Amino acid sequence: MTVLSTAIFLPSLVALVLAVLPRATDRLVARTWIAACAVDLALLLTLWAGYDRGLDHETNLTWIPSVGAGYHVGVDGLSLPLLALTGVLFLACAVSSLRRTRRLRAFAALFLALQTVCLGLFAALDLLLFFVFFDLSIVGMYFVIAGWGHGDNVRSALKFFLYTFLGSLALLLGFIALYLGAEPHTFDMVELTRTPPLADSPGPAALALLAIGIGLAIKTPVVPVHTWLPPAHTDAPAAGSAVLAGILLKMGAYGLVRIAMPMLPEAWRRYAWLIIGIGLVSVLYGALVALAQENVKRLIAYTSVSHMGYIVLALGAAGAVAGDAAAHRLAVTGAVTQMVSHGLITGALFLLSGVLYDRGHDYAMGRYGGLAGRAPVFAGLMTVAAFASLGLPGLSGFIAEFQIFTGAIGGGTTWAAVAGAVAVLGVLITAGLFLRLLHRTLLGAPGPLTGRMTDTRAHEVLAVAPLLLLSLVIGVAPRFLLDLIEPASAAVVSLVAR
């Protein structure tokens, strides 16, 4: 078995062992879970260290020969950052769940299985394989929310499942259209990228893009198909919210770059104005609704809608018919960097919101106050995470958003430039809402729940601090990441321009 396949399936193998292991104590389960995540992250970093350029670490085995589907996996500059992000975030979730997690063995086994699903999706080079992992991620997160959530968690889990499963059915219809449009018929993503199907059929290509776009838009999510996100985040456990926002939302955006743009280039160019519009509305709507929230988790959830809107806007701008290719490459690079940055920062924010709920059993920011004096480490971590999310220079959010705005405004088309300029308002609104969050919870007079707050424990710091440290590293010295993403972005832009 190759290193990539080992990294994909190692978590599931450990999950299977945990599930059948008799008399496993919580201490043994926790240590095994963390060790498995650490080894998996080491394997992913080995892949990164050994990567040269193009498609690497490729495995292509026959799976369903009658429809041309195979177990085809590999890595490139688009998938490697997201694979590494998956390894980092799942390890952080394992560390953060060390204490006070009910039914730890089942929880750990479920998260390990979910880790395999996420890694498999980002490595998949076959549409049917991608779809299988896409659907399994919905099942895994449903059980996380329903089994370990709080509040109206069963209803929120059901809403999450129905929305995203409906999206996956639309996605399947789009994949079938690509399969039937290819000659010879195949689900192989490399072949479909090399020779785009439906190139001479603008009507069917538009319908295929519509189906794939709906499926990926729900998962991303963008306005108006985002309504499943706030309740799912509010009622999920902290680790579940971190994985949902940090990894699962990226599946939609990644699918747009990996599938929709290179396989339906003419349709993507034709409807780029619509994609830009959806991204712009998501940026502003998500930020404005987040500004009105009193619940910390709902606030973070709506900022995710806004931040994912930046990605959609950038990818739409990269598909504009006219314009500067260098600006288009910058927009795609910014979009992929934003995926990584948002995963790190929002993962940290949700894990910190879990600390708040663990102490006060409430997310209402008005019930806390003066936490800076009572929990200084928590206050420091929350402040860094908030400033990273609002795009302060020196942190990863600034690098990503700067590239997105520059790429959109400099793309060479008036409407993309106007959309990029208006989207800058989202940064201003986001700054306001996070400063309001910090003021209400960390400063001012104590609230009714302030007395219950104790500072972050060692394992909580160990879970959150590396995420913020990575955001700082990317913000100060991003070249190690951009060197990986930029060649892949250039390839995507050239494929869309065909």
For residue 59, give the 3-state DSSP assignment: strand
pLDDT at 321: 66
Strand partners, 62: 70
Residue 100 has pLDDT above 80, yes or no: no
Compute the half-sphere exposure of residue 158: CA atoms within 13 Å on the CB side of its CA: 4
Which token pair is 431? 């700054």
Round the average pLDDT of the chain to a whole number and report it.
Answer: 93
Mean pLDDT of 451-458: 92
Give residue 412's pLDDT: 67
pLDDT in tens, 178-198: 999 998 999 999 999 999 999
Task: Please report the pLDDT score of residue 482 as a whole number.
Answer: 96
Domain ranges in the chain are 3-497
pLDDT at residue 498 in the model: 82
| High-pLDDT (> 90) share of the chain, % | 85
What is the model's pLDDT at position 315? 95
Q: What pTM was estimated for this model as a whole?
A: 0.95
Residue 411: is its pLDDT beyond 80?
A: no
Quote helix, strand, coil % in the chain, to nearest 5. Answer: 75, 5, 20
In this predicted model, what pLDDT tens digit does every residue of 33-52 receive, in sequence order? 999 999 999 999 999 999 98
Position 25 scores a pLDDT of 87
Q: Is 63 helix (H, G, I), strand (E, B) or coil?
A: strand
Query: Among candidates 127, 129, 135, which has minimal Cα distance to 185?
Result: 127
Measure the CA–CA gap between 241 and 95, rounded to whole angstroms. Answer: 15
Measure the CA–CA gap between 295 and 183, rounded to whole angstroms. Answer: 52
Q: 56: which strand partners? A: 75
Residue 263 has pLDDT above 80, yes or no: yes
Structure tokens at 360: 């006060």
Decide if pLDDT at 322 tops 70: no
